[in-house]
Amino acid sequence: MNMTASTPSGPALWRGMDRPTLDAAYDSSAVVPDFKAITGRWPERSAPWRARPDTRLDMPYAEPPRCRIDLFGPADAAPLVVFLHGGYWQMRGREQFSFLAEGPLAHGLGFAAVGYTLGPDAGMDRIVDECRQALAFLRRDTQGKGRPIVLSGWSAGGHLTACLQNEAGVIGSLAISGLYELEPIRLGRLNDKLGMDAATARRHSPLHHLPANSPPMVVAWGEAEQPELRQQSLDYAAAREAAGLPTRRLPLAGLHHFDELDTYADPNGAMTLALVELARG
């Protein structure tokens, strides 16, 4: 998403930024000249994983067409890593991220990629509720064995992970470059397709709704991301720590918003090892 700012002009909306500056601050691709090449390879990297015989594709968990799950790996009692994709709640789809299965499957874990309705066809209330339905479906579907779930998500999916960290069956979570304070999203261009008012943004901002207790969470981010995106993770990790919630920070040196996912796909990558640690308790 190209949201290059023009010369700032207008009232300050967030941390001294006017709207053009705020839009630029949340343009995750602005500091990644080759982001189109990187993301363009994701479907190609995902294709062989989608062709595996132990893969179940397009499992419907609700009626809307995007409410589908792709499930990878054997249907046994091993912990299941669930991934909620990013795209600022209005772009991308689960199919692009099948390549991430490589890391978890190498350690005997299952992997599920969840799709959900995007804005403007759905607002934040519905998006969060659909992902909640997906988790409930996975609990019912997996052979009745109640597989423990390690919840994970990237970017907008990191936000959804934080919203759903205490759902039944979740034993730990990995929130990657998430958006935990939605007010700057509401004030900028990204809200054009989401239609959040102030109450909705507040209601779905994990920073303002820390649970009394939660399973362990790893908060990860790329150190080469936009400063405002890094700050979202830093603020959320600090708030969790101050509340006494089990939290581990995972800064990824030299990585930006897109290549950080390689450490999820790599069986020896930092994110994969964090998922394994969460799965083992």
Residue 21 forms part of a structural domain: no
Which residues pair with residue 113 across a beta bridge? 70, 83
pLDDT of 1 strictly over 70: no
Residue 26 forms part of a structural domain: no
Residue 4 forms part of a structural domain: no
Quote the pLDDT of residue 9: 56
Task: Report the C-alpha gap between 217 and 278 in whole angstroms.
Answer: 8
Quote the pLDDT of residue 156: 99
- Percent of the chain whose predicted confidence (pLDDT) is above 70: 95
Residue 7 forms part of a structural domain: no
Global pTM? Answer: 0.94
- pLDDT tens digits, 145-202: 678 999 999 999 999 999 999 999 999 999 999 999 999 999 999 999 999 999 999 9
Quote the pLDDT of residue 7: 44
Residue 188 forms part of a structural domain: yes
Q: Where are the alpha helices (DSSP H) in the chain?
A: 19-25, 35-50, 102-106, 124-141, 156-163, 183-187, 198-203, 227-242, 262-265, 270-280
Residue 206 forms part of a structural domain: yes
Rounded average pLDDT over 5-26: 80
Q: How many domains does the chain have?
A: 1
- Per-residue confidence band for 5, with pLDDT thresholds at 50, 70 and 90: very low
Q: What is the mean pLDDT of the chain?
A: 94
Phi, psi of 103, deg, nearest 5: -60, -60
pLDDT of 8 strictly over 80: no
Residue 24 forms part of a structural domain: no
Quote the pLDDT of residue 269: 99
- Domain harbouring 207, CATH code: 3.40.50.1820
Rounded average pLDDT over 233-242: 99
Give DSSP secondary structure letters for 71-106.
EES--SSS-EEEEE--STTTS--GGGGGGGGHHHHH
CB 161 within 8 A of CB 185: no
- Among 171, 182, 269, residue whose Cα is nearest residue 220: 269
- Per-residue confidence band for 140, with pLDDT thresholds at 50, 70 and 90: confident
Residue 9 forms part of a structural domain: no
Domain ranges, residue 141? 31-280
Rounded average pLDDT over 260-268: 98
Task: Show the tokens assigned to 8.
Answer: 């700032």
Rounded average pLDDT over 201-216: 98
Quote the pLDDT of residue 142: 58
- pLDDT tens digits, 83-135: 999 999 999 999 999 999 999 999 999 999 999 999 999 999 999 999 999 99
